[in-house]
Amino acid sequence: MAVIIEIGTALPAYVHDQSEVTEVLASQLAKSDSARAVLSRIHEATKIEQRHFVMPIQDYVSVDSFSKSNGLFTEHALALAAQATQSALSKAGLEAKQVDYLFFTTVTGVGAPSLDVLLASQLGFRSDLKRIPSFGLGCAGGAAGIARVADYLRGHPTEIALVVSVELCSLTIQWQDRSMANFVGTGIFGDGAATVVMVGEDHPLASNGIGVSASRSILYPDTEQMIGWQIGTSGMSLMLEAGVPEIIGQNFARDVDAFLAASGSSRAEVDVWVAHPGGPKILDGFTSALGLENDELSASWGVMKRAGNMSSAAVLHVLSEMFTQPSKSKGLLFALGPGVTVELVLLEWS
């Protein structure tokens, strides 16, 4: 099986307390006392203490078009992705030129050539590097990246591959959108990046790390409007319906059990739960559906409190914090994304 040998993470330099973010957003977004009260209540309910942004929160008010936000994405995302990638490679004792395959994911900026081309040029990857740039997987992108790279490494067991995620969710703030979805989005999303180093099972570094033994993708029909982004002249507007926790409650336990059974395992054998910190209702939904104790998702809650929901990078930050586990531990990594989709990844610690 493919093996995760290191993870590098990066957060932007500007750190804002949740109360500070709420104050600025309330002054710009909410045009009445009642609207300000609603926004403040939503932000407080997230239980997030702080978030990292690529700019001071006051500077975002001038970001009022897609061209501005996307230009800033290219400017700032490259540096953050490079920081995470250099950290991961350094911890693994590898150089960029040794990497054979790169899966890049984001949902907060677009470009052609994609950002991974700029990353490859800056860090000195080989010219024959195989690249898979991915856009649109949203919060499920980090989990999906691990799964797809593991699939690739099964057929190329001596190679080295990276999953690179960078998300600048702060650039999606919509200053003229006074919908509940935008109020929620401005309260939970943060910026961050992560890079996962993976090797095939025949690589010399495969003896120590986290094995990826199985994965499954699930797409729930007729849920396309529940989570996602609408791209317009002002940038990316969040689509978020209140029924997402209900989707989790109705389906998640059944689908997890079916996946584990097909992999020769069960919930009782899972020691480590690596959940995407999509928000308090999402984490509560996972906890309830799987019958977990409150502290079993403590790492996910911790990442969310300190950095918010960093979309595809968030679950990779959680995995980084849970990287060291007793030998033979089993884990389930999972994330929810637009579609509505779920990505499940079964892990085994060596």
For residue 210, the SS3 value is strand
Out of 151, 176, 206, pick the residue that ends a domain: 206
- If one counts the domains in the chain, the total is 2
Instruction: Answer yes or no: do 216 and 176 share one domain.
Output: no
Asked if residues 106 and 77 have their Cβ atoms less than 8 Å apart, the reply is: yes
Instruction: Answer yes or no: do 127 and 152 share one domain.
Output: yes
Give, in degrees to the nearest 5, the angle at Cα 170 between 164 and 171: 90
Instruction: Answer yes or no: do 128 and 45 share one domain.
Output: yes
Instruction: Answer yes or no: do 271 and 248 share one domain.
Output: yes
Out of 176, 206, 236, pick the residue that ends a domain: 206
Give the model confidence (pLDDT) of 287-329 as tens digits.
999 999 989 999 999 999 999 999 999 999 999 999 999 888 9
Q: Can you tell me the distance from the alpha carbon of 153 to that of 142, in angstroms, rounded to the nearest whole number? A: 17
Instruction: Answer yes or no: do 99 and 212 share one domain.
Output: no
Instruction: Answer yes or no: do 172 and 288 share one domain.
Output: no
Instruction: Answer yes or no: do 165 and 241 share one domain.
Output: no
Instruction: Answer yes or no: do 240 and 194 share one domain.
Output: no
Mean pLDDT score of the chain, rounded to an integer?
Answer: 94
The whole-number average pLDDT for the span 334-345 is 95
The whole-number average pLDDT for the span 245-264 is 95
- Residue 228 has phi, psi (to 5 degrees) of 155, -165
- Write out the residue range of the structural domain in which residue 252 sits: 208-349
Q: Can you tell me the distance from the alpha carbon of 278 to that of 281, in angstroms, rounded to the nearest whole number? A: 8
pTM, to two decimals: 0.95
Q: How many helices (H) and strands (E) does the chain have?
A: 10, 13
Instruction: Answer yes or no: do 192 and 271 share one domain.
Output: no
Give the model confidence (pLDDT) of 40-59 as tens digits.
999 999 999 999 999 999 99
Instruction: Answer yes or no: do 226 and 175 share one domain.
Output: no
| Domain CATH code at residue 325 | 3.40.47.10
Tokens of 147: 């799964």
Tokens of 231: 């791209």
Annotated active-site residue 139? The verdict is: yes
Query: Among residues 139, 173, 247, 347, which one is catalytic?
Result: 139
Instruction: Answer yes or no: do 172 and 236 share one domain.
Output: no
